[in-house]
Amino acid sequence: MKYKSLLLSLTWVILYTSDKNEDWILKKDKDGIKVFTRKTSNFKFDELKVECDMEGRLSAFAAVLLDINNHPKWAYKTIKSQVIKSSDSTDIFFYTEIECPWPFENRDVVVHMNLMQNIENKTMTIIAQSENGYLPEKENIVRMKYSKVTWMVTPIDNGHLKIFYKVQIDPGGNVPAWLLNAFASKGPFESFMQLRKEIKMPQYGSAKFSFLKD
């Protein structure tokens, strides 16, 4: 528990500091969803973040993200997602395959996801990072070199959530950086539009967790 509290505090500091270092460029602003990208000095692929408000309970949102097998219903171009190992609902390893357009091969990745909450402001933080070497690579599927996703979700007034999402990936293989960067905003925007629908589904609306306070 002490380790998770320290990690949560460090996450806040790192995200705040990194956002101050370089300006983000607004790529899409539609339906209350803002998508930003920026160049980074040590990465050829753009870093991306999303900011939006969403109607729903914190536990319902967590339930959607923790329902790993259901990710293909809302995560853009995700065609398979399944749990590999889980010590509890806050610490999960899972496998995901992502569809890529011809002539590129599909990508896959093993993800280690951790969920934490700041009890004072009720902010839920989810960090999902690629775990290299965890599973053998598959034929005709390219293993992503790197992936890190951070969610920070805070309950606000009138039953809404303030969501901050940040992601950086290296898809591996021969995908040109300019091509991935050119379409970087489409996937997150489509995913968030679907998330708004998923969080209202009956199986998530009444969700409760002992480790999470709404």
- With respect to residue 136, please indicate whether it lies within any of the assigned structural domains: yes
Residue 99 lies in a domain: yes
* Cβ-contact 71, 54 below 8 angstroms: no
Q: What is the spatial distance between Cα 162 and Cα 155, in angstroms, rounded to a whole number?
A: 6
**Is the N-terminal amide bond of 103 cis, ω within 30° of 0?**
yes
**32's tokens:** 């209350």
Amino acid identity for residue 177 in this structure: A
- Establish if 115 belongs to a structural domain: yes
- Average pLDDT along the chain: 90
**What is the arithmetic mean of pLDDT over 31-54?**
93
Per-residue confidence at 99, pLDDT binned at 50, 70, 90?
very high
CATH number of the CATH domain containing 141: 3.30.530.20
Q: Given this model, what pLDDT does residue 145 score?
A: 94
Strands 141-143 and 106-117: parallel
Is 212 within the bounds of a domain?
A: no
Q: Can you tell me the distance from the alpha carbon of 122 to that of 156, in angstroms, rounded to the nearest whole number?
A: 10
pTM of the model: 0.88
Lowest mean pLDDT among 35-49, 67-81, 189-203: 35-49
Query: 200 phi and psi, to 5 degrees?
Result: -90, -5
Which has the closest alpha carbon to 167: 196, 109, 128?
A: 128
Structural domain total, the chain: 1
Q: What is the pLDDT of residues 174-202, one digit of tens each?
A: 888 887 887 788 999 999 999 999 999 99
Asked if residue 214 belongs to a domain, the reply is no
Looking at residue 22, its pLDDT comes to 66
Please check the confidence at residue 119 and state whether its pLDDT lies above 80.
yes
Residue 52's DSSP bridge partners are: 33, 163
Distance of alpha carbon 43 from alpha carbon 185, whole angstroms = 17
Cα–Cα distance between 193 and 104 in angstroms, integer?
A: 26
Give the pLDDT band of residue 86 (cuts 50, 70, 90).
Answer: very high
Tell me the mean pLDDT in the region 106-129. Answer: 97
Which residue segment(s) compose the domain that 98 sits in? Answer: 2-205
Give the pLDDT of residue 2.
44
The DSSP string of 129-160 is EE-TTSSPPPTTEEEPSEEEEEEEEEEEGGGE
Band (pLDDT 50/70/90 cuts) for residue 19 is low
What is the three-state SS of 44-64? EEEEEEEEEEEECCHHHHHHH
- pLDDT grade for 5, boundaries at 50, 70 and 90: very low
